[in-house]
Amino acid sequence: MPDTHADAAWAELDRLAREPGAGAIRALFAADPDRAARMTHRAGDILLDLSRSAVSPAVLEALLALAEATGAPGFLAAMARGEAVNATERRAALHMALRAPEGVRMRAGEEDASAAVHGTLAAMRRFTAQVHDGTLRGATGARFTDVLNIGIGGSDLGPAMAARALWTPVAPMRAHYLANVDAHAFEEIRARLDPARTLVLVASKTFTTQETMANAALARAWLAQALGEACAGAHLAALSTNLEATAAFGIAPDRVFGFRDWVGGRFSMWSAIGLSLALALGWEAFARLLAGARMMDEHALTAAPGRNLPLLLALAEVWHVNGLGYPARAVLPYDERLARFPAHLQQLEMESLGKAVRADGTPAPRATGPVVFGEPGTNAQHSFMQLIHQGPRPVPVDFILVARPDHPHAESHRTLLANGLAQAEALLHGKDAAAVAAEMRAAGAAEAEIARLLPHRVFTGDRPSVTILLPRLDPGTLGQLVALYEHKVACLGALWGINPFDQWGVELGKQLAGGTLAALEGRARAKDPATAALVAEIGRLAAQP
Ligand SMILES: O=P(O)(O)OC[C@H]1O[C@H](O)[C@H](O)[C@@H](O)[C@@H]1O
């Protein structure tokens, strides 16, 4: 359906993108000495500095017009009202209900979503307390010290990321995450675990995911072998929407923590899928995580567009992707505890926005989700940052900095932050030929040598980044940070007109895996000639002593 309002907004952005110097950033600082302050916004504990993005005041105005024309803020409101914003699957996307306090009632269509959420939270809380106080123990009478979450994708990445970010040695339990169907992962994890003290959570929204079911079977066999068949059940619990399948797997109903289909996998760490976090970190920490996300929900739903952090982050992405044609973005948390945050964002953003068809079924006329990748700083500086500084096209960066560490090594922390801040500066300012030549001359280089190396040592600059600053990393600030990106994704869905809540693209490989398994087992011949040849070679190599 043509939307002239949105078309006009896109046309204005296209016009601005054709203007000379559209991607220049240093010029924006030169034109406005207050740019850093003007482009810095706060919500809750989060500071978002967009000044080093390539968004100029004129571009911002056009982007805000686009937001209005595409109804991006209204889309968040429709989500909160429990409308079927996931149009292809005719479902709500009501992860906001998972962290809404009891007084705030939310509905998914006809269903009282809040009642379901708070019922599950109460059950999770009881279960967590019973495990921690020893009321619930393993089959031998030993207390549970370790929780093993078996799940993949959204049933793994969020909790694994948050456990890595928030776990400390004084936490009540240790958490382990098994995702890959590669049994090397299982073997590596079980070597660290005592089955008598391990609680296994089978985490799967559908409870049909091949990898998770395979790993759950391995874990149950491991428990049965160590403790006896009848005892394995005492060590198992399930986190799922599919109660029939959990029963068929043999998990007692009081060990099943449910959620609804209006919770998307990549938005599910706040649901029963987060039980490993409650167990490992304690209920208080889990509750603070939810409260942090709730704080960001309230901000996203109420802040004016020009001050709305998730919307502004989304708009900067639109400019970088659509205006300037930058096809990728890097995420660099300068905090080792956030090592799995880029992996979580990879699923959150690319599974949500990696689509070329709009929600109404028509082809998306513009680029949509960029490639998202990342690593913690400073490690990334010694890895892919070369390409980001001097590669053929800019790759915008999200720098995530944490002001106060939770260790006593102040000097290390200053070094860490100095590096993060310096990277953003280097990307912006670059280094021109005159500066390179002067530096080389000062170091005594001959003119011929300067001429030879000059092209290699010049940095163009004007490479965009945004900086997110947290006062410290704790459950509350992590909840805010994750929800910030969740809402950014939803805003981008609205801006691009695509459904950010489905993921049909992951189906084809799953379907074909059945056929390739038959080929590997010699029950059928692979249809694809390249697969058939590789299957034959795998058979030959596997048969070798
Ligand atoms: O939780 P599950 O149903 O096991 O699904 C696990 C994951 O696999 C699917 O293929 C989807 O790509 C993910 O969105 C999902 O989180």
Looking at this protein, which amino acid is placed at residue 37? A
Ligand 1 site-directed mutation target among 89, 91, 150, 152, most atoms within 8 Å of CB: 152
Looking at this protein, which amino acid is placed at residue 473? L
CA 266–ligand 1 middle distance (angstroms): 8
* Distances in whole angstroms, Cα of residue 512 to Cα of each of 421, 470, 496, 506, 526: 46, 44, 30, 11, 10
CA 508–ligand 1 middle distance (angstroms): 14
- Please choose, from the candidates 222, 214, 158, the residue with its C-alpha nearest in 3D space to the C-alpha of residue 189: 222
19 an active-site residue? no
The answer to whether residues 306 and 65 touch, using CB atoms and an 8 Å cutoff, is no
171: helix, strand or coil: coil
Structure tokens at 85: 């914003």
176 an active-site residue? no
351 an active-site residue? yes
- Measured by CA distance, the residue closest to atom 7 of ligand 1 is 153
Q: What ipTM, to 2 d.p.?
A: 0.98
* pLDDT tens series, the chain, 545 aa: 447 889 999 999 999 999 999 999 999 999 999 999 999 999 999 999 999 999 999 999 999 999 999 999 999 999 999 999 999 999 999 999 999 999 999 999 889 999 999 999 999 999 999 999 999 999 999 999 999 999 999 999 999 999 999 999 999 999 999 999 999 999 999 999 999 999 999 999 999 999 999 999 999 999 999 999 999 999 999 999 999 999 999 999 999 999 999 999 999 999 999 999 999 999 999 999 999 999 999 999 999 999 999 999 999 999 999 999 999 999 999 999 999 999 999 999 999 999 999 999 999 999 999 999 999 999 999 999 999 999 999 999 999 999 999 999 999 999 999 999 999 999 999 999 999 999 999 999 999 999 999 999 999 999 999 999 999 999 999 999 999 999 999 999 999 999 999 999 998 988 899 899 999 999 999 999 999 999 999 999 999 98
CA 153–ligand 1 middle distance (angstroms): 5
Set 211, 317, 349, 351: catalytic member: 351
β-pairing, 371-374 vs 328-333, is parallel
Kindly tell me the number of DSSP H helices and DSSP E strands found in the chain: 23, 13
Angstrom distance (rounded) from CA 271 to CA 278: 11
Note the Cα 128 to chain centre separation in Å. 26
- Please choose, from the candidates 181, 168, 177, 288, the residue with its C-alpha nearest in 3D space to the C-alpha of residue 239: 177
330: helix, strand or coil: strand
Q: What is the pLDDT of residue 311?
A: 98
Q: What is the pTM of this model?
A: 0.97
| Residues contacting ligand 1 via CB (< 6 Å) | 151-155, 204-206, 209, 212, 265-266, 351, 503, 506
- Measured by CA distance, the residue closest to atom 9 of ligand 1 is 153
Q: What is the pLDDT of residue 1?
A: 44
Set 5, 409, 510, 527: catalytic member: 510
Q: Which atom of ligand 1 is nearest to the CA of 151?
A: 4
Angstrom distance (rounded) from CA 198 to CA 332: 34
